Amino acid sequence: MYDGKDLNMLISQCMIVKNEEKNIERALTWAKDIVSEQIVVDTGSTDKTVEIAKSLGATVFEIPWENDFAKAKNFAIDKAKGQWIIFFDADEYLQTQAEAHNLKKLLPSVSREFVAISSPLINLDDNHDPISKISQVRVFRNQDKLRYAGLIHENLSTSDNSKVKGLHVDNCFTIMHTGYSASERKDKDKGRRNTEMLKKLVQDKPSDYNAKVYFVTDALRYGFVAELDPILSAIFEPVNYKTILPSLRIYLETCLLQEFTDSPLPDSEERLLQIYHTGMSWNASHPDYDFLLGNWYRKQEDLAKAKSYFARAYDKLLTYDGILPIVLPSNMEGLCLILLTLCKQEKDAPGVVKYAIATLKINRYHTKTLMILLELLRREIQDDNSALKVLNILSSIYDFSNYKDRILVFTCIESVGISPLEKAFRYRMTKEDFTLLNNTH
């Protein structure tokens, strides 16, 4: 019984699994220190998933698979005793123990009005680099009325149909998800299972165009793209399209933009532009469309059009306050670097300065970009006044109370050979800085 002293007693970790021997150890290890119990519901594994889970101390239930994700998840919830439930998939995890403890510390402070917590989730590729970033609910209160609904792509819902009120946290913890990597996409068994379930859902509910979107996006994900044109034509009929949830429209449109970029067809450009203009017709401020179309033109080596669309994506993201973009946030530094490169190729000096500063504000230790910026500004630095103006720009990026920042900037200024700027910056340096510099030379 929770006595108010041990926060571990607040939390149950639950998951449903099948053939997850490559993920199950990590899935159970990251939360070990913050939960009071770990419940694993296995739906028919033929590998070592169950054996590994039991060896790690999890309570394992083995149940038959009934083509119903919500039913399996709700079985796990029914077994949970904690006041809060963490329900990650086996291929989802928190990167650090610090983030896990941030989550643990957060829960006692959450107002009773909130029954769930949403947080950022980053999809990773095979190199563990970000593909996309979305917001997801994976933590919620253990309440009788709160359960999952839906055969597939299930969502939390309430038995009394009241709104599931959630607290969104941005900087507390971020969920990492490997399920969209290339190796996962090649898991045809999983893909066929999902596709067959969705095909049945579409057949049972022919007027449910949200279900049709799920069917199409899963088929795209697992490579089952044959004969999708008829269903896509029906989805994009205006009378049908209006019935689709806005978040699903974004998901479908961005999936299609990525598909026709990654696997081009003879008419890919026409298709891409049709999807782009459909998105713009109802969601013109969303930056992902421009970013993805920019990727297409970059692959076609039409650099002028690529730069135009990438620049639109950048400008839109700066002021965007609508539905969370699916693709762009995790690629912002990459986008700035692409624009920096394109501006250099076109000898667009103001553009180089703009995107170099934007890049450094995301990652101020990107030394190559700092060198590019300084090389470009050196012709502007003729005297002490112009040197001070450049220092003001640098001080908007770097923390000059931090010796690491001071040494990095001074080293780059010295390397580029900007005498007025080097002279002005020396006044910001300490004796200890120069000692460190001498010891590293």
Q: Are 164 and 158 in contact (CB under 8 A)?
A: yes
Predicted local distance difference test score (pLDDT) of residue 226 = 60
CA separation, residue 270 to residues 70, 251, 264, 273, 415 (Å): 39, 20, 11, 5, 48
Separation of alpha carbons 8 and 103, rounded Å = 11
Comparing C-alpha atoms, which of 247, 86, 96, 251 is closest to residue 174?
Answer: 96
The helix, strand and coil proportions of the chain, stated in percent and rounded to the nearest 5, come to: 55, 15, 35
- 305, with CB counted inside 10 A (0-12, 13-18, 19+), is middle
Predicted local distance difference test score (pLDDT) of residue 263 = 84
Contacts of 46 (CB under 8 A, 6+ apart): 19
Comparing C-alpha atoms, which of 238, 263, 230, 235 is closest to residue 251?
Answer: 235
- 226, with CB counted inside 10 A (0-12, 13-18, 19+), is exposed
Comparing C-alpha atoms, which of 354, 353, 359, 368 is closest to residue 331?
Answer: 359
DSSP 324: P
Comparing C-alpha atoms, which of 378, 381, 379, 344 is closest to residue 359?
Answer: 344
DSSP 21: T
Separation of alpha carbons 214 and 159, rounded Å = 24
Tokens of 234: 């029906």
Predicted local distance difference test score (pLDDT) of residue 368 = 95
Predicted local distance difference test score (pLDDT) of residue 1 = 27
SS3 161: coil
- Whether the predicted model's global pTM rises above the 0.75 cut: no
The series of mean pLDDT values per 10 residues for the chain, 441 residues long, is: 46 97 96 95 97 97 91 96 96 94 94 91 82 83 90 77 82 87 56 71 84 85 72 92 85 90 89 95 92 94 95 90 64 88 92 95 94 90 87 93 93 91 90 83 59
Q: Are 174 and 95 in contact (CB under 8 A)?
A: yes
Predicted local distance difference test score (pLDDT) of residue 192 = 65
Contacts of 63 (CB under 8 A, 6+ apart): 41, 42, 43, 72, 75
147-158 as b/e, with b when 16 or more CB fall inside 10 Å?
bbebbbbbebbb
Tokens of 208: 């449910």
